[in-house]
Each structure stands twice: as C-alpha cells, then as structure tokens.
C-alpha cells in the first residue's frame, strides 16, 4: 500500500476540525460542504471491503429525502444489501480519524477484517441529482484510485438501481445485466407479461400521476418510458426542472403532512403516487368525491402484495411459507387485517430497513414494508427454483399459469432493496390483474387514527427498549406509566424510542379516534419529559 500517495491525496480532502459523524442505516448524512473528506475515505473503505470479500462493492452518493443542501453516502455490499454492521463501525472510525491517524486505522482494519492486499478491488459508483453530488463522487473516485482500485461510474442513477447493478455483477449476470438497459428490460418485460394477463388488457389505458420529488426518479422514469406497454400512461410531476429537491413534495412530505405535494393537480379518484428523492420509497394517495385526501402507505402496499401472493401460492399448491415483516410503526389495523383476515403470520422487528430485510430472509416469501413506503419482497433460493420449475414443467394449466405469474413477480421485484420504480410496477400490475381501483384497495381496512410526536431530552440514551422497541426498559417507571395511560382509550397502543440521530425521543400513539390518539400521544410525551430528562418547556397539547 502506497502510504506516501495516501498522505498526499488525503491532504487534498481535509477533515473539518471537531466534526464527528456516525454511519447509520442511511450511511452518513449531513450538509454537503462537510462531506468531502468522508467521500474520499469511503472510497478508501470500499476498496478494503472489496478486497476483503473479493467482490464488487457499491457507493451511492445521496441524502435521499433530506433537503437539497444536504448530501450523504452509503456503501452497498456484494448482493446489493446494506453494508455489514461490523464495517459500519470501520466506516465511522475512518470518517472521524485525524489526518495523522489514517494510516494506522487502515492498517488495523486490514488486520481485523483479514483484508487480502493482493486481491484486485472493484467499486461501482452512483449519485443523485443534488448540485453537490458530482463533485463529491469525484472525491470518492480519488479515494478508490489512491488505493489502486478499479471503478465504474454509473453517474446519475436511483439508489435501488445501483444496488441492482452490484448484485448483477457479483452473481455474474444471474440476477440480470449490470447496465441501466438491463434493468429497464428485465422489469418492463416482466411487467408487460403481467399486464397482458389482466382482464381489461388492451381496452382502457391506465393513467398514473407521479410526483418525482424533483429528484432522480423523474430522469430514470423518462428513460424507462419507451420500454412500457402502451396501455400504461405515466404523467410526471415535480421533475426537477423548476423546483428544489424534496421541497414540499416527495413521499416523505406526503406521508408526514398527510396532504398532496405541491405542483400536482389531483382530480377526484385519480391514482397518484410519490417517490422520495433517491427513488427508494413510494406512497400512493387520492382525493375522494368530497375532496378528502386519502394516503395509501407502506402498510397498505404490503397488504395488497400479500393478498396477491397468497392467492397465487395457494393456486400452485406448494407448501411455501410466507410472512410479513413490520416495525412498531405499522398501523394496528394492518397487523390485525393480515393476521386475522388474511391469516398471514406477521413479525415485528426494530426500526431500520436492515432489520426488516434480515427477518424477511427467514421465509420462502418474505414481504416487508415500512409505513413510510420503503420495502420489497424476498424469495428464498428454494422457493424461486421451485416456482420457475413449475412455470416450465407443471401439467395442470391453472397451476402452471399461477406459477408463471409468480415467476414474473419475482423478476419485477427488486429483491436487493426497496425500489420505488419496481414497487410502482408491482402495484400497477396487481391492481390491473385484480381489477381494483385505488379506492377499493384503500378500503381493505381503515387505519386507526394515530399521532407521532417528539420530545427533546438531554440524553437520548436514558431510554432503552425491548420487544422490537415496543416496550421501554429504562428509565424506571416509564413503561408502567405508558401502560396505565393506554388503558384509558379503546383500541389504543403507544410506544417510545430514542432517535438514532439526535437527542429526541420519538412517540407513537394510536386509538379509536383522532382526538384520543392525540390525547394519548400528549400524555405519553409528558411522561417522557418528566421521567427521561426533557429539555425546554414541557410539551403543550
């Protein structure tokens, strides 16, 4: 390793004094001007990771749904999954190291992680449309080059597209071709096959309005449009030509504010959806005849997909185990509907995509979505092999037909990570095949009214949780207090959890009416304020 060159190049990407960052679920995220040194060092880390696993690693420059002034970076592991937890630790150490410690920390990582110095390294890079992304991805390239790594710069791509490329590369093309054309062809072919089978195929055109959050989603959807079957007409809004990224638009805005994005004109009962800034989340919504806004969130997406897959699995007659994975934020009505009406097992895990993904891998078919619209479906190797075999060889017409539909679903779903483009096509195909309107889909169950609040505290670490963050272990007395408050309201539950990034405690409450959900959330926030070291004035109702 050429430590002289490292020293020289590292000086060109100096670390601002006193800045410490933490690699979390979303990688590193902060204001763009503070990230130059981090990008350079993540280039270094990607080379080490690539040598350690003898595979191509991905680096995505994006801050997803954050404001345009921010940026961020996340690493992608060989099968398109998130970076291994032990390497998140190394990423944090490397990002926060002082200039003179870099050499030592790199040497330590190489020893701890058994990095083979003689292996070649290969890194795929992608970036979103932020003004700062191009320059920051150049810093990543500096880091890769100084350690002698090879790289392929895909330029502007959605986050899920980069995950997809990395997976294709490391499965030697088994998952698909590691090009944008390969991605568009694989998804559109599967989608076209599914749409052909829909009852109204060829008659009516399906219209969908899409809010692209003024981000990368608009660019990539326009590239993909020529691949779509003619029945499908997409109308793009907030395409990034006029307004700022994520400003008053995008999936996160719509979900948090429960209202339509700016710049999208909705007529009653029109199907609309929003992507987030890097196109890995999607939510649907519509306005009814009275002008009332209805959000169809990640929980309802998971439910729609589960209904569809469960019917198909029953038709192929295989004993494949299916389950849905949720977090504590999933609406209680969705959990009840899945377990009691659909009879599908539901598992609850800690907040964070990596926990959901990991749990979903335990089943033949694992569906996971966060309420915010990030999610996908995983098929086990055995299930996929079985389904593809039945689609080819099954004698019984109905069974073979069901297996073919399942096979196309497997090809349409991006199994590496939540993907707004892929999820949108899955949803559109299911609605067409089942002949459902967005209102009928929304009416599967009624969400329990809920309220999210946050309380500022001196130190978020005073709160420790268990049971997938649904119960507080510390501070003493808090959980007992919450239990007492919950008993006052019908169909109610509440939980508190520390934020992963700032000194605030997040509170979630739901109950039979909005009034009761609000009251419960407020009472719980007061309990947190008094028992967990609240800062400033007590929460006001």
Classify the phi-psi angles of 353: left when phi > 0, otherwise alpha if psi is within -120 to 50, otherwise beta.
alpha
3-class SS of residue 7: helix
202 is in an annotated binding site: no
Residue 512 marked in a binding site: no
The answer to the question of whether 131 is labelled as a binding residue is no
DSSP category for residue 83 = P
Mapping DSSP to helix (H, G, I), strand (E, B) and coil, where does residue 516 land?
helix
**d(C-alpha 483, C-alpha 119), whole Å:** 56
- CB under 8 A, 24+ apart: contacts of 15-21: 15/96, 15/97, 15/98, 15/99, 19/96, 20/96, 21/92, 21/95, 21/96
Distance from C-alpha of 264 to C-alpha of 247, rounded to nearest angstrom: 13
The answer on whether 278 is annotated among ligand-binding residues is: yes
Known binding residue 499? Answer is yes
* 475 annotated as ligand-binding: no
Active site residue 64: yes
Three-state SS annotation for 177-242: CCCHHHHHHHHHHHHHHHHHCCCCCCCCCEEEEEECCCCHHHHHHHHHHHHCCCCEEEEEECCCCC
> Residues 64, 139, 274, 492: which is the catalytic one?
64
Q: Give me the torsion for CA of 398, 401, 403, 405, rounded to 10°.
A: -140
Annotated binding residue 447? no
Length of the chain: 541
Contacts 24+ apart (CB under 8 A), 129-133: 129/156, 129/215, 129/216, 129/219, 129/240, 129/245, 130/32, 130/62, 130/63, 130/68, 130/70, 130/71, 130/245, 131/32, 131/68, 132/32, 132/33, 132/35, 132/71, 133/61, 133/62, 133/71
The half-sphere exposure of 202 on its side-chain side, counting CA atoms within 13 A, is: 4
Say how far apart CA 508 and CA 522 lie, in whole Å: 10
501 is in an annotated binding site: yes
276 marked as binding residue: yes
- Say whether 2 counts as a known binding-site residue: no
Cis-peptide into 472, omega within 30 deg: no
Using CA atoms, how far apart are residues 91 and 405, in angstroms rounded to an integer? Answer: 42
Q: Alpha-carbon distance 484 to 526, whole Å?
A: 14
What is the rounded distance in angstroms from the CA atom of residue 57 to the CA atom of residue 73? 13
Cα–Cα distance list, 527 to 479, 496, 498, 523 (Å)? 10, 10, 14, 6
CB-based contacts of 219: which residues, under 8 Å, 6+ apart?
129, 156, 240
Sign of CA dihedral 167, 169, 173, 179: positive
Question: Is 240 marked within a binding site?
Answer: no
Give how far Cα 533 sits from Cα of 454, 458, 470, 523, 525, Å: 13, 6, 20, 15, 11
Is 371 annotated in some ligand binding site?
yes
How far is it, in rounded angstroms, from Cα 539 to Cα 370? 27
Binding residues for Mg(2+): 64, 276, 278, 280
Q: Residues marked as binding? A: 64, 276, 278, 280, 370-372, 497-501, 506
Annotation: binding site for substrate: 370-372, 497-501, 506
Active site residues: 64
């Amino acid at each position: 390793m050429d430590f002289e060159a490292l020293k020289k190049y590292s000086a060109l990407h100096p670390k601002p004094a006193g800045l410490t960052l933490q690699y979390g679920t979303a990688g590193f995220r902060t204001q763009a001007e503070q990230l130059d040194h981090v990008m350079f060092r993540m280039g270094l880390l990607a080379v080490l990771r690539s040598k350690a696993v003898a595979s191509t690693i991905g680096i995505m420059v994006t801050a997803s749904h954050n404001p345009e002034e921010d940026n961020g970076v996340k690493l992608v592991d060989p099968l398109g999954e998130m970076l291994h937890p032990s390497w998140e630790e190394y990423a944090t150490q490397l990002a926060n190291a002082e200039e003179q410690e870099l050499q030592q920390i790199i040497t330590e990582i190489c020893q701890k992680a058994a990095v083979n110095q003689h292996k070649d390294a290969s890194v795929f890079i992608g970036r979103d449309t932020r003004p700062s992304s191009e320059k920051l991805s150049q810093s990543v390239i500096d880091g890769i080059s100084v350690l002698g790594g090879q790289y392929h710069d895909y330029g502007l791509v959605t986050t899920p597209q980069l995950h997809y490329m990395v997976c294709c590369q490391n499965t030697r093309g088994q998952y698909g071709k590691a090009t944008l054309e390969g991605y568009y062809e694989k998804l559109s072919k599967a989608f076209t096959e599914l749409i052909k089978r829909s009852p109204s195929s060829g008659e009516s055109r399906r219209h969908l309005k899409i809010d692209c959050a003024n981000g990368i989603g608009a660019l990539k959807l326009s590239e993909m449009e020529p691949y779509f079957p003619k029945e499908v007409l997409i109308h793009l809004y907030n395409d990034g030509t006029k307004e700022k990224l994520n400003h008053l638009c995008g999936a996160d805005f719509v979900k948090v504010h429960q209202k339509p994005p700016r710049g999208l004109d909705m007529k009653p009962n029109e199907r609309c959806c929003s992507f987030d800034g890097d196109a890995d989340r999607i939510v649907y919504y519509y306005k009814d005849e009275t002008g009332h806004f209805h959000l169809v969130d990640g929980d309802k997406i998971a439910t729609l997909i589960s209904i569809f897959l469960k019917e198909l699995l029953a038709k192929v007659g295989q004993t494949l185990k299916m389950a849905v994975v949720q977090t504590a934020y999933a609406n209680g009505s969705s959990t009840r509907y899945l377990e009691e009406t659909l009879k599908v097992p539901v598992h609850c895990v800690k907040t964070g995509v990596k926990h959901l993904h990991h749990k979903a891998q335990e089943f033949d078919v694992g569906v996971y979505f966060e309420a915010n619209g990030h999610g996908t479906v995983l098929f086990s190797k055995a299930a996929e092999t079985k389904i593809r075999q039945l689609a080819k060889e099954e004698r019984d017409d109905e069974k073979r037909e069901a297996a073919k539909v399942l096979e196309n679903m497997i090809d349409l779903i991006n199994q590496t990570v939540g993907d707004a483009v892929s999820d949108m096509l899955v949803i559109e195909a299911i609605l067409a095949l089942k002949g459902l309107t967005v209102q009928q889909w929304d009416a599967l169950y009624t969400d329990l009214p809920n309220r999210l609040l946050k309380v500022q505290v001196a130190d978020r670490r005073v709160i420790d949780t268990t049971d997938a963050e649904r119960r507080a272990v510390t501070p003493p007395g808090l959980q007992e207090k919450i239990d007492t408050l919950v008993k006052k309201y019908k169909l109610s539950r509440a939980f508190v959890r520390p934020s992963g990034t700032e000194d605030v405690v997040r509170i979630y409450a739901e109950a039979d009416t909005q009034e009761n959900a609000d009251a419960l959330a407020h009472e719980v926030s007061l309990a947190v304020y008094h028992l967990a070291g609240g800062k400033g004035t007590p929460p006001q109702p």
